[in-house]
Structure 1
Amino acid sequence: MQTKNLIIFIVTIVLFLGIRHVYASPNYNNIDTIIQNYMRDFNIPGIAVTVTKGDKVVYLKSFGVGHNSQPLAKDTKMYIGSLSKSFTALAIMQLAEERKIDIDKPVKTYLPYFKVNNKYSTENITVRHLLNQTSGLSEMTCISKLKNTTSQKEGVLDLKSAEPVSKPGEEFHYFNPNYMILGAIVEEVTGEKYEKYMKDNILVPLEMRNTVLDIENGVTNLSDGFGAFAGFPIKRKEEFIKSAISAGYIVSTPEDISKYMIFQNKMNKTLSNVLSDRNLDEMHMQTLKTKPGYGMGWFVNEKYNGIKVVEHKGELKNFHADIILLPNFDYGISIMTNQNHALYDIFVYPELRENLTKLVIGMSYKKSSTFAFGYLFLIFVGITTIIASIYKTVKVKEIFLKTKEKGLKKVYYSIIIDAIMPIIFLTIFPYIFGKIIKRGFSFEMIWGLTHDLVIWFLVICILALIRALYKISILHEVTKKEII
């Protein structure tokens, strides 16, 4: 009996220590070090990080610059991109809780004008399918090119040519217009503008005083946005697309996002009138057993040795934002930056998100990016290939004559290489880009997120074509002389 009790005692202590490791109080000063390292390595103008634990903000600090080179602050406004989707999902679930919407009814119940290029999908896509990104619509077959002033209703009408890639409810396909449709439903059901309903029913109750939706009328203290060109920040204007506000164009602040995370983690019990815990749980519940898992405006997965993570990122041309919720630990983490680039989205920001999350939950993490050297190497390769291509173009005649001495086959081979290089680049690069982001895209999107890469490709391709044409011209002259 004593042996049995001893074993139970030892097992209990081991389990306690394991749990204690996960709950170990993080040293928040190390967040400063991590952020400063990333900003230094990638020339990021501004980053704000917020950490909530329970109903408290345990860390909120901004680094770098925001509006007009002024220091980034807790009340500096930044676009949050697709984090907007969870706000729209929250509005829909509010209306469902009030029995104004049945999320399992077809979209046409609320938007009679809704139509896609498939009768079955038009009649059977439900509100839930939109929330869960399982409508069957995909950016692989539909990329909207709407004017910035287009309303959400006009945006929905524009989907009449959209071709579904699967039946409703069968597959997950991330499709921004799903949430544009939801925004239109909010307006149709309430009889109010989306912006007004969101302010009165979500922002005011959550005391998110600096979060803005009516962006057309101007926004004070809005951070400047930046792209990146070969590692240097480039200040650019972020275009506001009215029809996509419910999918990706809400503006908020680090301080306001902290309040939102506390609410999403069900830690503010005075706000149960905004949405019940039961419906918040449903928003955080994975639907299809796919990877990545998706709930309602949130990605839902198990990470870090089986810990449930509810998260989403927001991507615009010049801004990036992340929210990571750890509901089993009552933690919320937000990262808001005023710079974006495709390479940052793929390599830098996911790594930063992971390192900060590991720090908060007591796991080992890295204080700096493993991609920093790789990024510098890519810049070096880009510069050296352009220099080499310029040199080959300037010396094309001299190189051609040396090649000709080795035989005409070598000449034809070099011409073919130069001629097909642009074709290869213009076909393979978009294919690889699509595979990496696992979504459809437009060339406007590529240009917005990869100015430097696009210019590099164009320079290489133009120089290659010039060489090919010049070689053909020289070959014609040489051949003509030899015949004479």
Structure 2
Amino acid sequence: GQVDARGVGSAGGDREVTADTPFVIGSATKSFTALAVMQLVDAGLVDLEASVRDYVPELELADGQRVDDITVRDLLQQTSGLDDLAGGPLLASAADGTPLAAIAELKDAKLTSTPGEAWGYANANYVLAGLIVERASGMRYGDYVQREIFTPLGMTHSSATTDPAGSDVLADGHRFWFGLPVATEPTRRNATLAAGYLISTAADLGRYLSMHLAEGLAPDGTRIVSADGIRTLLGGGPDATLGAWADGQDSRYAMGWFVGGPWGENAVFHPGNTPDTTTMLTLFPDRDVAVAVVVNAGNELPVPGNPFIADRITRNVVHSTLGQPVLDLPSMWRFYALFDLVALLLLAGTAWGLLRAVPTVTSPSPSRHPARGWAGILVRTLGVGLLVLVPTLSYGWGGLWTWASDLAVVIAALALLLAATAAVRATGLLRAKRADSRAAASSTERVPQHASP
């Protein structure tokens, strides 16, 4: 089909974004990984109903033998029982290691449901799927995608390594620091390439989507995957939940694709997010139309219920392409103004508390209410523990720094200020206690001695 691609904006410095400017496409990568697996199914090298351990025997979970019940289909449909916390820290910490090193991080992971029963988005599923591609094909994942997908589709500006293709230079990414977009080097992860770090362009993604609309045929007639394979990839799957960007609408998850969405008609799509880029791939089979949008900016603070602006922008581009009314975007600046004000007040108030505590050490005096003082120290200590603990309940400190650096700075600064205040207050109380003891001793010495009658 016809591909109409264009670029708008700056790719960094004096470079303009064009249809051939490469971006890291985030989790839109998952559709490529699912396609690679389906090609190997067509070739008789992979069985969707086989256990993942048939291809990756190194996989170990805290659940022991239950890992044998996870099938290849479960990985692609996100029904393995692994949850997002098994994938989030994995993406954040594996960095430039190997896929096997990333999978080794799952040794303490516990399944949250019986394999095949419930949907749960986890990047780990697609790291495992990438390993299956390697084991079944005998090639590195990136080499396979380059040879079997990019090259036959003419995706000449796309790359399946952590480097852009040829002489192409990646568009700068952008992260929000307290509401201000700051240019950054785009995030790339070799170990988790198959889950979220392929590189592509608007024009190349148009060719890729056209192949799906043509039931597996490239523009020159080359068969990329069987028509049955395409129908399996895009067909219905388990119920899935979308984020606030889609107004909480429900969907289903096929294989590397969501089915449904917020556009009010039959759509197959997948968003992709890295800390500094945003992507949306959308197919409308009934219209024979597809839309690919890539933005060199990541999401703002991960606040529950907050519709990320970058995701809303990609959604609105699709609405506009379909001739539908675009949505009013929530004010990111109003949100960040509130966040910045609250952060400033908390930090200023905590710093003021520290400054007020300093005289208790430099000029100690007898304490009037030591019990109240120790209670305040206990409260501050508990506050430090809570601030340190909260990030570990989600993506960990590494993940928080990667995805919300400004929030990580605020939490760390508050914890340090509270810890310093507690330490200074404790030192002051101990010195006050010694001052009390000296005062009592001095008072005893001044008591007059009376002679016996």
Report the TM-score when normalising by structure 1: 0.76
In 1, Cα distance between equivalents of 2:379 and 2:104: 46
Return the offset for 1:375: 1.8
- Equivalent runs, 1:261-280 vs 2, <5 Å: 261-266=209-214, 270=219, 271=221, 273-280=223-230
Q: Could you give the per-residue CA deviations for residues 190-218 of structure 1, whole angstroms, max 9, x where no partner exists?
A: 22232232222211222111001133698
- Residues 1:411 and 1:275: Cα distance change in structure 2 (over 3 Å): same
Return the offset for 1:140: 3.5
Task: Report if aligned partners of 1:422, 1:464 keep a CA contact under 8 Å in 2.
Answer: yes
Return the offset for 1:247: 1.4
Return the offset for 1:254: 1.6
Which of 52, 55, 64 is the aligned partner of 2:10? 64
Return the offset for 1:309: 3.0
- Does residue 339 of the first structure (1) align with residue 285 of the second (2)? no
In 2, Cα distance between equivalents of 1:291 and 1:167: 18
- Residues 1:349 and 1:430: Cα distance change in structure 2 (over 3 Å): farther
- Residues 1:480 and 1:124: Cα distance change in structure 2 (over 3 Å): closer
Report the secondary structure of 2:85's partner residue: coil
Which of 283, 289, 292 is the aligned partner of 1:325? 283
Which of 171, 179, 195 is the aligned partner of 1:247? 195
Q: Which letter does structure 2 place at the counterpart of 1:325?
A: L
- Does residue 449 of the first structure (1) align with residue 403 of the second (2)? yes
Report the secondary structure of 2:314's partner residue: helix
- 113-122 or 383-392, which deviates more: 113-122
Task: Report if aligned partners of 2:213, 2:285 keep a CA contact under 8 Å in 1.
Answer: yes
- Higher helix fraction: Structure 1 or Structure 2? 1
In 2, Cα distance between equivalents of 1:231 and 1:146: 26
- Residues 1:397 and 1:119: Cα distance change in structure 2 (over 3 Å): closer
Aligned to 1:27: none
- Equivalent runs, 1:276-355 vs 2, <5 Å: 276-292=226-242, 293-305=252-264, 307-343=265-301, 347-355=308-316
Return the offset for 1:471: 2.4
Aligned to 1:417: 379
Report the TM-score when normalising by structure 2: 0.80
| Larger Cα-atom Rg | 2
Task: Report if aligned partners of 2:269, 2:280 keep a CA contact under 8 Å in 1.
Answer: yes
Which of 154, 161, 172 is the aligned partner of 2:119? 172
In 2, Cα distance between equivalents of 1:456 and 1:76: 35
Alignment size in residue pairs: 418
- Residues 1:229 and 1:219: Cα distance change in structure 2 (over 3 Å): farther
- Equivalent runs, 1:48-447 vs 2, <5 Å: 55-58=1-4, 60-66=6-12, 68-140=13-85, 143-144=89-90, 148-153=95-100, 155-156=102-103, 159-215=106-162, 220=167, 221-238=169-186, 240-266=188-214, 270=219, 271=221, 273-292=223-242, 293-305=252-264, 307-343=265-301, 347-366=308-327, 368-396=329-357, 411-431=373-393, 434=394, 441-447=395-401
- 206-215 or 174-183, which deviates more: 174-183
In 2, Cα distance between equivalents of 1:474 and 1:408: 10
Task: Report if aligned partners of 2:281, 2:293 keep a CA contact under 8 Å in 1.
Answer: yes
Task: Report if aligned partners of 1:88, 1:183 keep a CA contact under 8 Å in 2.
Answer: yes
Task: Report if aligned partners of 1:300, 1:310 keep a CA contact under 8 Å in 2.
Answer: yes
Return the offset for 1:238: 4.1
Q: Could you give the per-residue CA deviations for residues 426-471 of structure 1, whole angstroms, max 9, x where no partner exists?
A: 234554xx3xxxxxx2321111111111111111221122222222
Task: Report if aligned partners of 1:294, 1:300 keep a CA contact under 8 Å in 2.
Answer: yes
- Residues 1:217 and 1:250: Cα distance change in structure 2 (over 3 Å): closer
Task: Report if aligned partners of 1:136, 1:164 keep a CA contact under 8 Å in 2.
Answer: yes
Unaligned runs of 5+ in 2: 243-251, 440-453
Task: Report if aligned partners of 2:82, 2:122 keep a CA contact under 8 Å in 1.
Answer: yes
Task: Report if aligned partners of 2:95, 2:191 keep a CA contact under 8 Å in 1.
Answer: yes
Root-mean-square deviation over aligned CA pairs: 3.3
Return the offset for 1:80: 0.9
Report the secondary structure of 2:49's partner residue: coil
In 2, Cα distance between equivalents of 1:368 and 1:123: 45
In 2, Cα distance between equivalents of 1:259 and 1:417: 59
- Equivalent runs, 1:28-39 vs 2, <5 Å: none
Task: Report if aligned partners of 2:360, 2:429 keep a CA contact under 8 Å in 1.
Answer: no
In 2, Cα distance between equivalents of 1:361 and 1:349: 19
Report the secondary structure of 1:133's partner residue: coil
- Residues 1:291 and 1:240: Cα distance change in structure 2 (over 3 Å): closer
- Residues 1:69 and 1:461: Cα distance change in structure 2 (over 3 Å): farther
Return the offset for 1:170: 1.2
In 2, Cα distance between equivalents of 1:334 and 1:124: 36
Task: Report if aligned partners of 1:80, 1:249 keep a CA contact under 8 Å in 2.
Answer: yes
Task: Report if aligned partners of 2:82, 2:112 keep a CA contact under 8 Å in 1.
Answer: yes
In 2, Cα distance between equivalents of 1:447 and 1:472: 31
